[in-house]
Structure 1
């Protein structure tokens, strides 16, 4: 897979509005929630500073937002949206496995020792 991430910017807004419509309209309509561009843009702008565009080659195919809470000392996945044409290709797994915290932990020698639901217990063995 030729996937990469780059920071989202204002010039991505048209793509992000279209992506939200493709991926969420059906679910929002079923729930009786609004599907206007104004409502889409409100959701897109939530945590926009942490928004990254998922690219296949140089083509945008998705949105990935993840934030870090210093107060709680954890990473939070805010949003993952992948164009339906690319869904089912394990891109979501790639995004989660390449999140900054996990990469840093593994570089430091920390390894997962157990997992319950979405919570992982990790351990660092001292080096002598």
Structure 2
């Protein structure tokens, strides 16, 4: 399976809106968050310079957005979304594990936030993340690498 990441560009916006609708709508509705196109675009464009398109053999199948804070030696996973038809193939796990390995080489920590009702939380727990805080509808999770 040839998984690659490439920098997201403006032309990816329609794909990313569709991806957000497919992957996040039910979780957003469950906690009363807005699901309008405008809100989707606002979330997609947040930290867009860190957005990468996940491709499988050249076909866009997801989004991965992570940011490194050098002063804190801390990676923050902003978003990861994989097309539902490609979920369960360990693609998201591989991408996150690659980031964890990169963090391990520099002694960095890794964090993320997840909506409490999102089943992706189980993936993060399996990868070694722990819930360190909760605020409203989200859990803050962190992984201390060694």
- Same fold, TM-score > 0.5, yes or no: yes
Check the 8 A contact 1:75/1:101 in 2, yes or no.
no
Q: Does 1:33 align with 2:58?
A: no
Counterpart for residue 125 of structure 1? none
Does structure 1 retain, via aligned residues, the 8 Å contact 2:54–2:62?
yes
* Deviant stretches of 4+, over 4 Å: none
Where does residue 94 of structure 2 map in the other structure? Answer: 94
Say whether the 8 Å CA contact 2:100–2:145 is kept in structure 1.
Answer: no
- 2:103 touches 2:145 (CA, 8 Å); kept in 1? no
Q: Give 3-state SS (helix, strand or coil) of 1:32's partner.
A: coil
Greater CA radius of gyration, 1 or 2? 1
In structure 2, distance between residues paired with 1:93 and 1:32: 28
Q: What secondary structure, in the 3-state scheme, does the structure 2 residue paired with 1:99 have?
A: helix
Name structure 2 gaps, 5 residues minimum: 108-127, 131-142
Structure 1's unaligned 5+ residue stretches are 122-128
Change (3 A) 1:103 1:120: closer
Q: SS of the counterpart of 2:65?
A: strand
What is the distance in 2 between the residues matched to 1:103 and 1:33? 32
Report if aligned partners of 2:62, 2:81 keep a CA contact under 8 Å in 1.
yes
| Aligned CA-pair RMSD | 2.2
Distance 2:31 2:8 in 1: 28
Name the counterpart of 1:124.
none
User: What is the CA distance between 1:120 and its match in structure 2?
Assistant: 1.2
| 1:1-128 aligned within 5 A | 1-99=1-99, 102=102, 105=105, 117=130, 118-121=143-146
Alignment coverage as a number of residue pairs: 114
TM-score with structure 1 setting the length: 0.81
